[in-house]
Structure 1
Amino acid sequence: MKSILVYGDSLTWGYDPAGPGRHAFHIRWPSVLEATLGAGVRVIAEGLNGRTTAYDDHTADCDRNGARLLPTLLHSHAPLDLVILMLGTNDLKAHMAGTAIAAQQGMRRLVQLIQHHAWQFDHDTPPVLIVAPPRIVETADPDFSAAYAGAVSQSAMLASLYADLADEVGAGFFDAGSVAQSSAADGIHLDADNTIAIGRGLAPMAQLMIGG
C-alpha cells in the first residue's frame, strides 16, 4: 500500500463557495486523486481552513501555521511515499504575509522540514510535490475582497515562483491553475467541477512520483 499525505488549506478541506459549506467527501480533490490512482494507494487529506505555509494568524481560533504542525503529522502518518503541499493562498491575505515571494519562502520551509525530518524506523524520506493553487480572481464578495486586497496580482506570480523553488530543492511541481479556476463567488475557492479537476489532473504526476 502506497501512502500519500496531502497538506493544504480550505482548497484541500473542500470549502464550497456556493454554500458556504463543505463539498461531499467524494468530490474533494484528495478523494478524487485516490479514486483515480486506484487500489493500492491511500491519500491522507490534511486540510485546514486558513492554513498558511509558515505564518501565524493571531486572529484565528486554532493554529494555522503550517510549519508548526507539519513535523507532527509526518510522524503520525509515516511511512509516506509522497507528500503533496498545496498552500500559499492564505499567505496572500492583506493582514498576513501579503506577497507571493513570502509564500515561496514559507513553502521552502515546509520542504526543508520534510527533507530534514527525523524519520523513525529507517523510513525513507518521501519525495515532495509542490502544487501552486489556482489563481485568485476578482470577486464582488466584500469580505473576501477586503481580506485579499492586492492578492490577485500576487497570486499570478505564485506558480512561477513555486516552479523555480521545485527545481532548486529537487521537488516535483504542478500548477493547479492549469486545470482549475477559482470561483468568482468569493475569488478563492473551488466549485465541484474544479476541485474534481485538480484531483484528476494531479494523478499522472503523483503516479510517476510514487512509482508502480
Structure 2
Amino acid sequence: MREKTILLYGDSNTHGTKPMSGFGESERFTPNERWTGILQKKLNQYHIIEEGLSGRTTVHNDPIDGKHKNGLTYLRPCLESHNPIDIVVLMLGTNDLKTRFSVMAVDIAYSNDRLIAEIKSCYVGSQQKCPQIILLCPPPINEVKGNLGDIFAGGEEKSKLLSHYYRKVASKHNLTFLDIGSVVTVSHIDGIHYDQDQHIKLAQAIQNLIESL
C-alpha cells in the first residue's frame, strides 16, 4: 500500500522560524523542535512535506520581499511536484496583516478561499483525487513595539477577527477547521512566531485532527 502524504503549506510558522529578537535575525528550530518535525514523528505512517516559506502571503506579491512570497503562484507547482497528496494542511494569513498590504480580515479569509479553489481546480479532470484540506486560522498577533510590530501596525486588531471569517470559508467548502488561537499563543519576543513549547502543543492538535479524519 502506498504511503500517504501530507503537505503542510504555510509561512514562517510552518518553516519553524524562532521568535526574532531583532529585525532580520532569523533562526529556525531544528526538526525535533518545530511542530512539523514533531508531527512527522507522531505520524510516522505518513510522509510529511514541510512547505513553509518565511514571509509567504496568501495571494499577494510582496513589493519589498519579492513576488515569490505569493502563496497562490507557487501552490499549483507545489501540488504537482509532490503528487499524489492525501491531505493539505493550509495555514496562511499572518503576513497579509502587514501594513503594506492594506487588507481587511475578511479579505484575508477570502484569499484563503481563493487558495482552496486553486487546490480543487488542480484536480479537475485529473486521475489524481483531490486531497482532503485542513484549514488552520493563525492565532492573533501582538504588536511588539520596536520589533516586527512596526511592520504589522494595525494588524493586531484585524488578527482577532480572522477566526470568524476563516470559519465561514471552511464551512463553505466543508473543510476540517482549527482556530490555532485556541491552541497556541504567539511569543512575547516578537508577537508573531511561536516559542518551542507552543510547537509541541500545535503538533499534538494537528495530530488529533488528522487521526480524526
> TM-score by structure 2 length?
0.92
Cα deviation for residue 66 of structure 1 reads 0.3
CA separation of 1:80 and 1:97: change in aligned 2, threshold 3 A: farther
- Residue of 52, 58, 63 corresponding to 1:58: 63
Partner of 1:14: 16
Among candidates 192, 197, 201, match of residue 193 of structure 1: 197
**What is the CA distance between 1:123 and its match in structure 2?**
1.1
Distance of 2:110 and 2:66 partners within structure 1: 24
Q: Percent identity?
A: 34
> What does residue 3 of structure 1 align with?
5
Report the Cα offset of residue 40 of structure 1. 1.5
Which is further off, 160-169 or 92-101? Answer: 92-101
Q: Give runs of aligned pairs for residues 33-112 of structure 1, distance below 5 A.
A: 33-37=39-43, 39-61=44-66, 63-112=68-117
Quick one: structure 1 residues 168 and 121, their matched pair in 2 at CA, closer, same or farther if it must change by over 3 Å?
A: closer
1:139 counterpart residue number = 144
Q: Which moved more, 1:40-49 or 1:53-62?
A: 53-62
Aligned residue pair count: 207
Residues 41-82 of structure 1: per-residue CA shift (max 9 Å, x gap): 111010001000111102114600000000000000110110
- Correspondence for 2:31: 25
Q: Compared with structure 1, are the counterparts of its residues 175 and 81 closer, same or farther at alpha carbon in structure 2 (3 Å cutoff)?
A: same
1:169 is aligned to: 173
Which runs of 5 or more structure 1 residues have no equivalent in the other structure?
none
Regions of 4+ moved over 3 Å: 118-121
1:181 equivalent to 2:160? Answer no
Gaps of 5+ in 2: none
CA distance in 1, matches of 2:68, 2:185: 28
SS state of the match for residue 110, structure 2? helix
